[in-house]
Structure 1
């Protein structure tokens, strides 16, 4: 059987209990070496075969899976964060279905959660933003026009941008075109939860300058929005004047 496992945002102890157990039991591990912390592999069995998919094509990954399955071995396909975000798992699952190979998915903690914890942020502050837009700027992989950064920026919601650090001058320009003011708070979080984690607070207007000054060129998330600021409303859920299904208002 094939298990797609979310490795978490970086720190080895932020993988799920289920994911850790699957790693310990795996006969074969195929991991996304460009992003997954190799320290996670310390949990593997001594005789476990390990493949780094950063050096492999889809066809080569599938060939390893097929051979492992034919030999009655259990395979873990280890993806960074949660596999459902920029994990390219759909094409793998569709191919496995065609080969009648059974698989399942073990979710993981996404890097955008790790970045929020590192920066001590709440993405959904009352009175500021109740929506989180997770996206990326177009690079060699295109983005649908209706999901371009200027179009998404019009919402003025919290934005978390993956895979965009290498395009920050372009991203900064697109955010400004979409309506964010230059002084809108922003942050760059490099390798959230890893030992080498770095965090930088800046503004939309200084995103590119900040990354260049700090020599951040990849493996970072960009967060944009006023949730990084100081102003927000108190949550009604815990307000004494607010009645809920579990508590009557006290004043």
Structure 2
């Protein structure tokens, strides 16, 4: 059996209980070495076989899984954050399907959640934004034509941008070109929830300058939107005059 496990956003104690228990039982662990906190490997048995996928191709990863399966081993494929976001797990699952190897997926805490925690922010604020766009800047790997940064920026929603710190000058230009004002609040969160986490707030027009000034070149999320500002509306759900299934709202009548 193969388990795709979300390692969490960085802090070793942010892996799920299910994920930690699988690491403790695993005979074979293949972890994303360039991004996963190596402290998580301390959950593993001393005799577990450990592979760093940063040094491997897809074919090599599948070969390890196939050989482990022949021996009746439990394999954990440990991905950063939650495997569903930029985890490249679909291609691995397809390969396992072809070989009739059973697998399951264990979700994890994504770094976009960790970044919000670091900022002490709420992405969805009434009167500001009720949508979160998770995307990345086009670089060596293209994005679909309808998913360019400028197209998404036109919505003015909360945006969380992965894998784009090295392209930050172009990113800043595309965000402004798409419709965000230069004064739009922005932030860079470096290694969210790791011990060396850093948070930098700025205006959108200062984004590239802020990254350069603080030598942030990778392993960071870029966040843009009014949710980082001050004005917002109070949630209706907890308003005294709002009736729900569980509580009758009051009136201001005398």
Bin of the TM-score, shorter chain as denominator length: over 0.9
2:4 is matched with 4
| 1:244 and 2:240 matched | no
Which residue number corresponds to residue 83 of structure 2? Answer: 83
Deviations 1:209-251 (A, max 9, x none): 0000000000000000000001100000000011111111122
Tell me what 1:37 maps to. 37
Partner of 2:58: 58
Matches within 5 A, 1:65-76: 65-76=65-76
Shift of 1:174: 0.2
1:123-170 per-residue CA deviation (whole Å, 9 max, x = no partner) reads 000000000000000011111110000000000000000000010001
In structure 2, what is the Cα distance between the partners aligned to 1:206 and 1:168? 11
User: Counterpart of 2:203?
Assistant: 203
Deviations 1:26-85 (A, max 9, x none): 000000001100000011001001000000000000000000000111100000000000
CA distance in 2, matches of 1:165, 1:245: 45
Aligned residues, how many?
251
Please list, as runs of the form range in 1=range in 2, the aligned pairs for 1:1-251 lying within 5 A after superposition: 1-251=1-251
TM-score normalised to structure 2 length = 0.98
Partner-residue secondary structure (3-state), 2:134: strand
Cα distance in 1 for residues equivalent to 2:170 and 2:34: 24
Q: Which runs of 5+ in 1 are unaligned?
A: none
Q: Distance in 1 between matches of 2:92 and 2:203?
A: 39
Distance (Å, rounded) in 1 between the aligned partners of 2:204 and 2:40 = 35
**Counterpart Cα distance in 2 of 1:175 and 1:34:** 28
Give the distance between the partners of 2:203 and 2:144, measured in 1 at CA.
Answer: 26
User: Which runs of 4 or more aligned residues in structure 1 lie more than 4 Å from their structure 2 counterparts after TM superposition?
Assistant: none
Following the alignment from structure 1 to structure 2, what is the Cα–Cα distance between the partners of residues 36 and 28?
Answer: 16
Q: State how far apart, in whole Å, the 2-side matches of 1:36 and 1:125 are.
A: 31
TM-score with structure 1 setting the length: 0.99
